[in-house]
Amino acid sequence: MWRGAKVAYFFNTLCIFPIFIEDFGAYGNLPRGLLDGLTLLVMFAYPCFMWILINKPANYSFSGYFHWGLGWLGVGSCIQLGHIHRWDVEYG
């Protein structure tokens, strides 16, 4: 299983790395904003969704709604940061 995961990460890296290089040449520091957004996603949204999957809170419970809300707040912050940084690079 780990061998398959390593191969998958390797091919993902091969696919995504040229995109970052091309974006950096075209837009300057745009990939930094994308990476900042992904960092927010991993730090805030991912743990909340993982908690929901692991603990499986009861339907209509406060903790379930709380973690769903925090997870989607993290996703929204990630998207917002990406748009703000793109706007800054293009118009700022």
32: pLDDT strictly greater than 70: no
Task: State the average pLDDT for the chain.
Answer: 76
Residue 49 near residue 72 (C-beta atoms within 8 A): no
Give pLDDT, residue 76: 87
Judge if pTM exceeds 0.85.
no
Could you tell me which residue, 79 or 3, shows the higher pLDDT?
A: 79
DSSP secondary structure, 2-30, as one string: HHHHHHHHHHHHHHHHHHHHHHHHHHSSH
Q: Per-residue pLDDT tens for 4-28?
A: 767 776 776 666 666 666 555 555 5
Could you tell me which residue, 41 or 58, shows the higher pLDDT?
A: 58
Residue ranges of domains in the chain: 2-91
